[in-house]
Structure 1
């Protein structure tokens, strides 16, 4: 299981979270865990970084990573294909 830390959370958000947790009879940590689970449990598992990248390129007209300026120190291009 993973652990995350949320820094610089607005006091108002924290206070509303505390109230919501109390309403559900949970700790703030358990409430955040439930909120995240509810939000992401149904997320499509097949949506990879490669798929997101392709969607972005399609929506913005894309960019060509293969062409680089003369003298560039770039060694290669990351492969974000789903088959990798």
Structure 2
């Protein structure tokens, strides 16, 4: 099993201790759980890449409605 020694701010350390206590875990166990959860999640794509991917789903020649118009329409109902 690997071992780490990480220097962190006192405030973060305190938050980790509080979180571990709230979950009835040791500090080591809590950090392991947090790291496992973080590594299980797929990496987030950038907002720019997401916007381009979504825009590419719109068929060519279809006019996009301006979001300002849609907001006004909802507001005026």
Question: Would you tell me which structure has more helix in proportion to its own residues?
Answer: 2
Q: TM-score, normalised by structure 2?
A: 0.50
Q: What is the TM-score of this pair, normalised by structure 1?
A: 0.46
Which sections of structure 1, spanning at least 5 residues, go unmatched? Answer: 45-84
Q: Distance in 2 between matches of 1:15 and 1:39?
A: 20
- Structure with the bigger RCO (C-alpha within 8 Å, sep 6+) is 1
Aligned residue number for residue 30 of structure 1: 29
CA RMSD of aligned residues (A): 1.6
What is the aligned residue count? Answer: 43
- Larger of the two Rg values belongs to structure: 2
Q: Which runs of 5+ in 2 are unaligned?
A: 44-77
Moved over 4 A (4+): none
Aligned counterparts of 1:41 and 1:2: Cα–Cα separation in 2? 19
